[in-house]
Amino acid sequence: MQLLNGPKSVFYEPNFITEEEERRLVDCVYAAPKPKWQQLSNRRLQNWGGLPHPKGMVAEPIPEWLMHYVQKVSSLDLFGDKKPNHVLVNEYLPGQGIMPHTDGPLFHPVITTISLGSHTVLNFHEEQDLENIVGENTSPNQMKQRKKIMSVLLEPRSLLVVKDDLYQNHLHSIEELKCDEISESIINPGTFKVGELLERKTRISLTIRHVPKTSKATIFLSKKF
């Protein structure tokens, strides 16, 4: 994995999975039972492995089609002596995004995200009054006050790793855009040039992480549906 030209707590692998794996994963996401989808105002999502909660996550089996990638990420030894036990699946349509926020203390301070179907640009914001901005409860006025410190281009089939200080002390967001312009704030433009425009398509993200507080030990059983 490549350590990006930014804080020493962000890593990026542009071709973590193949196009065939990407197609299979997208098919499995959309084959999931309808009750697995939770509709939010700006996107919809699925939780696999359980529903994180301050009182503890009731661990549930992770299906085989996801478990392979949980194990693949786990083999990178990114979580220390922990093992990932939760996958958050987000669907972003063109024009959808997420407000500046932190993921908070429910999770081990390492996030790994596989992107499917489309690129996006993930922004990181300055450290400031984070104790009141856990989750997505930041007001639009608060959002505008959060200075952007850098951005990362997330290409389809890539793996992003965010950990330590960048996870714990900085906000991250995705702007609600249908097209992204490559700017000088993007620390991994790759072959793209400043000023180049990239049109978004439907993107699915698989965020694989560890929830320390769980209520039973049968986390790593897997099943088909």
Tell me if residue 130 falls in helix, strand or coil: helix
Neighbours of 54 (CB within 10 A): 9
Identify the pLDDT of residue 168: 85
pTM for this prediction: 0.88
What is the C-alpha separation between 110 and 172, in angstroms, rounded?
14
Strands across the sheet containing 203-209: 2-3, 10-13, 159-163, 110-116, 203-209, 86-92, 44-48, 37-39
Q: What is the pLDDT of residue 95?
A: 97
pLDDT of residue 86: 98
β-sheet bridge partners, residue 190: none
- Burial of 61: CB neighbours in 10 Å, binned 0-12, 13-18, 19+: middle
Using DSSP's 3-state secondary structure scheme, residue 166 falls into: helix
The tokens describing 204, both together, are 């699915």
Spatial CB neighbours of 184, under 8 Å, sequence gap ≥ 6? 194
The predicted pLDDT at position 7 comes to 67
Ordered domains of the chain (ranges, CATH): 2-216 (2.60.120.590)
Tokens 């996550």 -> residue: 57
- Residue with token string 């084959």: 31
CA distance 88 to 79: 17
Chunked into runs of 10 residues, the chain (225 residues) has average pLDDT values of: 72 96 98 96 95 93 97 95 96 96 91 98 79 49 68 97 89 96 94 97 98 70 45
Spatial CA neighbour of 213 closest among 84, 68, 106, 103: 106
How high is the pLDDT of residue 221?
44
